[in-house]
Amino acid sequence: MPEYYFTAKSQKGESYSGTREAKNEHELARAIRKEGYLLISASETKDGKLAFKSKKPSFAFLGRVSLKEKMFFVKNLQVMISAGVSLPKSLSILSEQSKNKKFKKVLLEVVDSIVKGESFSVAITKHPDVFSDFFINIAKVGEESGSLQENLGILARHMERENDLKNKIKGAMMYPSVIIGAMVGIGILMLVVVVPPLAEVFEEFEASLPLSTRMVMAFGTFFTERWYIIVGLVVFMVALFQFSLKTGPGKKTFAGFLLRAPILSPLVKKINATHTVRTLSSLIDAGTPLIRSLQITSDTLSNFYFKKAIKESISKVKRGDKLSHALKAYQDLYPLTVIQMIEVGEETGATSDILKKLADFYEEEVTNTTKNLSSIIEPIIMLLIGGVIGFFAVSMVQPIYGMINVL
């Protein structure tokens, strides 16, 4: 039986560390919890020395397999296992049902690995582009504790909540995206169809044109004759933006912009707070030690500053601080309610349950904010469209009136 060096905390925040034998980290966490402590970190020892495991690269649900498809996979896998179907058989059936060729291939490779004697968690570790570190860790804890079915349920609920949250955000952004797209399309149509004939009329009558009219005509002519330059420039700017988001400075700059944007900032903070507490809740509920849960949570966060806040909090928790105390330095990111409720959870020993309630509360807040966002953006878009149409109308109609007066 392996021996672990562990650090734990009481409900009053008192630190407790030592070594103890246990089958796995989950059994260790359970034994310590019965004594009134919460497991903070645990490292397996060998010959009295700590043995650190190498960390595998983490990819937060990246790849061509959608979150929705993986969510249905987890739900169906849980149902089959609860019905008594063997794991390899369940995976084989699900691979046949999958319409995604990549996912089908991955599942068949996982089945082959399991048949050769590997565990499910080890087998899916070979496919980090499909199964995230979060996914792998919950499966691993479930296998070690003999509660894979229950942990798959936790994972399915987490993924369902994440999918619902993404759909709400996409739904809120759909209306302004359609309006802006239509505005751009109509603008291009007018530049290509309306401006050239009017430009010919103005040239024929040698009319004196104001600056705004000359600008519209020049842009219309340039777009008609050299449209490929504009298309190439747009493609280049999009590619440059995507590339910059993959670099450290680019991520930091874009994250800072989102946090300072007047309309988007509250929504971004609520979304990241929701994702943090939901992920932490699922991991702790599955039996993952707090330090490991925080490490996985930081890997799943996309915003540079939220990721940095969790990583710096990990160092403070390792030194013996409570998570709530560590997060107090980041009240500009995490609402005070989140910090206070985590503190209550630490004092009562019900951190996981309180984090669930927090996540539900902030998901509702995100829903309300996205609904209000549409009503706020709508008049702004209308004003923008009105301004563009007014500028175009004045630019093209003003010379016509001048020509009529001359005639």
Does one domain contain both 154 and 194? no
Does one domain contain both 338 and 392? yes
Report whether pLDDT(51) > 50: no
Segment 332-353 mean pLDDT: 86
Q: Which of 40-49, 126-135, 192-201, 316-325 has the lowest mean pLDDT?
A: 40-49
Segment 122-148 mean pLDDT: 84
Mean pLDDT, the chain, as a whole number? 81
pLDDT tens string 8-31: 666 565 656 666 777 777 777 777
Bigger pLDDT: 203 vs 310: 310
The answer to whether position 173 is within a domain reads: no
Number of domains in the chain: 3
pLDDT tens string 384-394: 888 888 888 78
Does one domain contain both 135 and 211? no
What pLDDT was estimated at residue 207? 67
- pTM over 0.75? The answer is no
The answer to whether position 108 is within a domain reads: yes
Does one domain contain both 339 and 228? yes
Does one domain contain both 78 and 28? no
Report whether pLDDT(263) > 70: yes
pLDDT tens string 97-131: 888 888 999 999 999 988 888 888 888 888 888 88
Segment 338-359 mean pLDDT: 86
Does one domain contain both 224 and 310? yes
The answer to whether position 60 is within a domain reads: no
Does one domain contain both 347 and 269? yes
Which residues partner with 10 through β-bridges?
37
Does one domain contain both 193 and 90? no
User: For residue 83, what is the domain's CATH number?
Assistant: 1.20.81.30
Does one domain contain both 250 and 395? yes
Query: How would residue 235 be classed by pLDDT, with cut points 50, 70 and 90?
Result: very high
Query: How would residue 50 be classed by pLDDT, with cut points 50, 70 and 90?
Result: very low
What pLDDT was estimated at residue 41? 64
Query: How would residue 310 be classed by pLDDT, with cut points 50, 70 and 90?
Result: very high
The answer to whether position 62 is within a domain reads: no
The answer to whether position 170 is within a domain reads: no
Report whether pLDDT(55) > 50: no
What pLDDT was estimated at residue 58? 38
Report whether pLDDT(56) > 50: no
Domain that holds residue 193: 181-407
Does one domain contain both 198 and 272? yes
The answer to whether position 171 is within a domain reads: no
